[in-house]
Structure 1
Amino acid sequence: MSLVRPFEAADAEAVASLFQRMLRKLRAPAPAALTAYIRDFYLETPERGDGIASLVHVDDTGRISGFVGVHALPMILDGRPLRAAVCGSLMADGRDRDPMAGARLLKAFVDGPQDLSFSETANAVSARLWTRLRGVVLPQYSLDWVRVIRPAGFAIELAAGRAGPLRLLKPAAAAFDGLLRRSLKPGDRRWAVAREGEPAKAAHASEIDSAGFASLLELLSAQFALRPAWRDMPLERMLADAAARPDLGALVFSRVETPNGAVTGAFAYHARAGRIGRVLQVLARPGQAGAVMDSLVDDAARRGLCGLRGRTQPALLEAMLTRKLAFVPVASSVVHARDAGILHALKTQQAFLNGLAGENWSRLIGGRFD
């Protein structure tokens, strides 16, 4: 008879094989580095919550046929400490033999001791399972945003995702983009192009290290009723994991200040010249989101990126709508909570979620293990 039980160290190799085949879409055996990372990430981290654990599904032959990766996230709601659990990799193999394996895994997860269950990477199938278990989809947290900086380079970079040799056309694209950018007048911000290194009028960005960025998180998220308890999180390890994804480029941390030196925001993103930068986190004080976004785009243009891509937050959405961004539904942010106060904060966009308050910092998303 099939069962769901907590993930154990001896399960890591089988879970890595599932991850390699189902999520990485690779036929080669899972590398030892992936097995080790999965074991350490889900079992050896000091922030594991009491009773909050990753789960495996074992079929009636004793084979591990499913997995849900879980890590604890300490949070605060109006000063009250909460235990949140982030649902990462949800996998279920052999649907023809046991079509309910995924549903059993997810139900066992949301029935755990945590106050809040959350995922920012739910696909359409997973989102339906969440809603059947009385979970809630959060539309304004569920969009990816895209900003084009060099249009020809951006188009080639998108196409190269399927046909890598197309990057040989990069020099021609760079020449076209250079002509287009030189045609812009100062202050001109079009949908598909931004001037290189144009200074923001309301604020300017200066690069800082990961420790400096971590020190700003509490200050710049204080306006949210529901937010991470940053002091209780292993931020040094999380930011080191986020940085250990060389294919995405170097992880850049910046502080945004007004001309008189007041801190108005911060951002962290992966920057690699000629590529589309992946934004990990954008933070802004109330009323300053526009200036922070302008500083981010200017910084990316100066570093030679052809575009940016990140995850929305409702607090940034109004400023984003006036700044030549496109929005793409890629995955849903979904939550489950029994406390009405928690659900109210989530439904009224008073919560700080996604990025570091989620799972996109993990090496399991975009990392290399070869």
Structure 2
Amino acid sequence: MPEIRPLRADDLPVVADMFQRVLRKRRSPAPATLASYLQRLYLDSTDGSAGSPSLVHVAENGRVSGFVGVTSLPMRFGETRLNASICGSLMVDEDQRNDLSGARLLKAFLAGPQDISFSETASDVTANMWTTLRGTILPQHSLDWIKVIKPASFTIAGAKVRVPMARFAAPLARAADAGLRLRRSGEFSRWFGARDAAATLGRYTVADIDQDGFARLLGNFTSRFAVHPEWNDALLARIMADASAKQDFGAPFRCRVSSRTGAVIGAFMYFGRAGEIGHVLQVLALPGQAGAVIDCLIAHAATTGLAAVRGRTQPALLEAMLGRQIIFINVNSTVVHARDPELVRQFQAGNGFFNGLVGEHWSRIFGDRFD
């Protein structure tokens, strides 16, 4: 009989190989560094007594054929301390995808002792499984947003992911973007570039900060939400360290945004390199200040030379984004499941903080190299 059981250390070579094939789309053997990181992420750093452990599906022949990676996160709702479990990588070997092993893994995960469960990366198939098991999709958390700064370079940066030879067109793209910058009127200039954002930048101060500085702001800005994370110093330091190691995405930029009076109104963290698409991990803003912080982020990315920036929406940011010629797409959905329906309602109303550093995308699985 197939079984589902908690992940063990001796499963890691098989799970790492599955990661390599299924998620990373690599044919080469999984490097030992990947297995070591999975152990630290899913075994050494996760409290299995506070929520679901990571789980494996074992086929009838005794082979591990499926996996769901789980990290734990303490949260708070009013005076109530919550144990949250974040469902990361849910994967099944190709020859097992028709036997409901993925659904069994998800059902076992949701049956864990945690108060609330999340995922940021639910595919259409996985999201349907969540809703079948009484989970809820959070539409305002489920959109990727893209602000194009250099349209020609953006096109080449996107194309070379699938067609590596496209990188040779980068010099032509830079020349095209230089010419397009001369168009300073009309609808085209509204959609592309950072002119409007740069005008806002003059009214605020953007200053670089280190990991510790961003961590302190993170706690201050998230604690105003009804449901929010409650990290201890060691957990937050580990998350910030992992969040800063994403070699495929480029260098990390962490910035504080202040008004003319010196009051801190927000912060942002993103990764990028000139001519590429930057990856925004987190945007923080006081109520009513989201537009200014987003403008400062876009202007900063333009100064860095990025072709575009891309991130994940949050309800507190979405309204401000609507007037800034930002493109929205749905790639994966954010989903939530809780035994107390009031917790779900808080997230539906935008009163819960989740994504980026309060989610999955801080881990090195997203954007780092292991070879």
Q: Could you give the per-residue CA deviations for residues 275-319 of structure 1, whole angstroms, max 9, x where no partner exists?
A: 100000000000000000000000000000010000000100000
Which ranges of 4 or more aligned residues in structure 1 deviate by more than 4 Å?
A: 46-49, 94-98, 196-199
Rounded Cα–Cα distance in structure 1 between residues aligned with 2:316 and 2:97: 44
CA contact (8 A) 1:95 1:101 kept: no
Contact 2:72-2:84 within 8 A present in 1 as well: yes
- Partner of 1:277 in structure 2? 278
SS of 2:262's partner is: coil
- The residue identity in structure 1 corresponding to 2:263 is A
CA distance in 1, matches of 2:329, 2:87: 22
SS of the equivalent of 1:82 reads strand
Match of 1:223 in 2: 224
Cross-structure match for 2:287:
286
Deviations 1:61-87 (A, max 9, x none): 100010000010111112321000000
Question: Which residue of the partner structure matches residue 365 of structure 2?
Answer: 364
Match for residue 295 of structure 1? 296
In the other structure, the counterpart of 1:150 is 150
Q: Is the 8 A contact 1:49 1:72 kept in 2?
A: no
One-letter amino acid of the counterpart of residue 64, structure 1: V
Deviations 1:138-195 (A, max 9, x none): 111000000000111101111111112212222221122122224437xx96212224
CA-CA distance at 1:197 after TM superposition? 5.8
Provide the aligned C-alpha RMSD in A.
1.8
The TM-score, its normalising length taken from structure 2, stands at 0.95
State the distance in 1 between where 2:238 and 2:338 align: 28
Listed one character per residue, the Cα deviations across residues 37-96 of structure 1 (whole Å, up to 9, x for unaligned) are 111211111655435310001011100010000010111112321000000000112555
Give the percent of matched residue pairs that are identical in Structure 1 and Structure 2: 51
SS state of the match for residue 264, structure 1? strand
SS of residue paired to 2:300: helix
In structure 2, the residue corresponding to 1:247 is in which secondary structure? coil
Counterpart of 1:230 in 2: which secondary structure?
A: coil
Alignment-derived partner of residue 211 in structure 2 = 210
Q: Which amino acid is the alignment partner of residue 269 of structure 1?
A: Y
Question: How far apart are the structure 2 equivalents of 1:225 and 1:334?
Answer: 18
Give the C-alpha shift of residue 106 in structure 1: 0.4
How far apart, CA to CA, are the structure 2 residues paired with 1:171 and 1:94? 40
SS at structure 2 position matched to 1:292? helix
Superposition pairs of residues 63-212 of structure 1, within 5 angstroms: 63-94=63-94, 99-184=99-184, 190-195=190-195, 200-212=201-213
- Distance in 2, matches of 1:193 and 1:221, equals 30
Contact 1:197 1:302 in 2 (8 A): no
Contact 1:47 / 1:234 at 8 angstroms: preserved in 2? no
Q: CA deviation at 1:35?
A: 1.1
- Partner of 1:72, secondary structure, is strand
TM-score by length of 1: 0.95
Q: Distance in 1 between matches of 2:82 and 2:151?
A: 44
Structure 1 CA distance for aligned equivalents of residues 345 and 20 of structure 2: 38
Aligned letter for 1:103? A
Pair 1:81–1:173, CA change in 2 (3 A): same
Provide closer, same or farther for how the CA distance between residues 355 and 51 of structure 1 changes in structure 2, counting only shifts above 3 A. closer
Residues 282 and 172 of structure 1, relative CA distance in 2, 3 Å threshold: same
Q: Secondary structure at the match of 1:317?
A: helix
Does structure 2 retain, via aligned residues, the 8 Å contact 1:77–1:227? yes
Aligned residue in 2 for 1:36: 36
Cα contact 1:71–1:85 (8 A) shared by 2: yes
Other structure's SS at 2:38 match: helix
Work out the CA distance in 2 between the residues paired with 1:333 and 1:102.
18
Unaligned segments of structure 1, at least 5 residues:
none
CA–CA distance in structure 2, aligned partners of residues 359 and 71 of structure 1: 8
Residue aligning to 2:267: 266
Give the deviation of 1:231 after TM superposition.
Answer: 3.4
User: 5+ unaligned residues in a row in structure 2: which ranges?
Assistant: none
